[in-house]
Amino acid sequence: MKTSIKKGQNPINLVQEWLEDAQKKGIPDHNAIALATSNQNGHPNVRMVLLKEIDHKGFIFYTNYNSTKGREISHTSNVAFSLHWRTLKRQIRVKGSSEILEAVKSDEYFYSRPLQSRYGAWASKQSTILSSREKLINEVAKIALKLGKSPPRPEFWGGFRIIPSEIEFWNEGKFRIHDRFRYIWNKESAEWDSVRLYP
């Protein structure tokens, strides 16, 4: 188990390692994160999304920019997410700020998706009221007829990158003496500081 704090360690890489461990274990939806945003009154809102990629800057997920989460992020870019793998007895928590992903990366991911999912992205006015399930199914069919076999990425759909400011790792210990450590991005030194915390 990699639980020791190493000075100079990049915690983004450690998240990647833990995710890979979860994937190797065959944990279903091993990359599902509980993502918290907040509205203009500071009221938090949480939902699951899939963490699709980790790059050197941060954590990438895809969604509808006009959805509730998209609109909340456009007001307040501060977000947080957590990951938990019960069988690995591990949790990760991240705090950070979101930015819109480069269009070229969103295009690349959009075109890698199955055709039906691309039609779905066009048809779903995510988070708004839908009068019936049939209406959505009809709209997907209409979009398919209209856009044909290679629909472009809608402008209202794409990725966000979460740039982390804090990343915390938790590993279950015997008798609930857990191991918990946190990395905090130090803007002045441009390095990650790390501290161990009481569990």
Ligand X SMILES: Cc1cc2nc3c(=O)[nH]c(=O)nc-3n(C[C@H](O)[C@H](O)[C@H](O)COP(=O)(O)O)c2cc1C
Catalytic residues: 176
Q: Check binding of 124 to ligand X (CB under 6 A).
A: no
Q: Check binding of 130 to ligand X (CB under 6 A).
A: no
Q: Check binding of 5 to ligand X (CB under 6 A).
A: no
Question: In this structure, is the dihedral angle defined by the CA atoms of residues 86, 88, 89 and 90, taken in order, positive or negative?
Answer: negative
How far is CA 104 from each of CA 45, 110, 135, 159, 165, rounded to the nearest angstrom? 29, 10, 32, 10, 25
Shortest separation between residue 149's beta carbon and ligand X, angstroms:
24
Cα separation, 18 vs 25, whole angstroms: 11
Spatial CB neighbours of 101, under 8 Å, sequence gap ≥ 6: 60, 158, 159, 160, 161
Q: Using the rule CB under 6 A, which residue among 50, 100, 144, 184 binds ligand X?
A: 50
Q: Check binding of 32 to ligand X (CB under 6 A).
A: yes
Q: Check binding of 63 to ligand X (CB under 6 A).
A: yes
Q: Check binding of 69 to ligand X (CB under 6 A).
A: yes
Cα separation, 36 vs 48, whole angstroms: 9
Which residue's CB is nearer to ligand X, number 105 or number 180?
105
Query: Interface with ligand X by CB under 6 A: which residues?
Result: 29, 32, 45, 47-50, 61-63, 67-69, 126-127
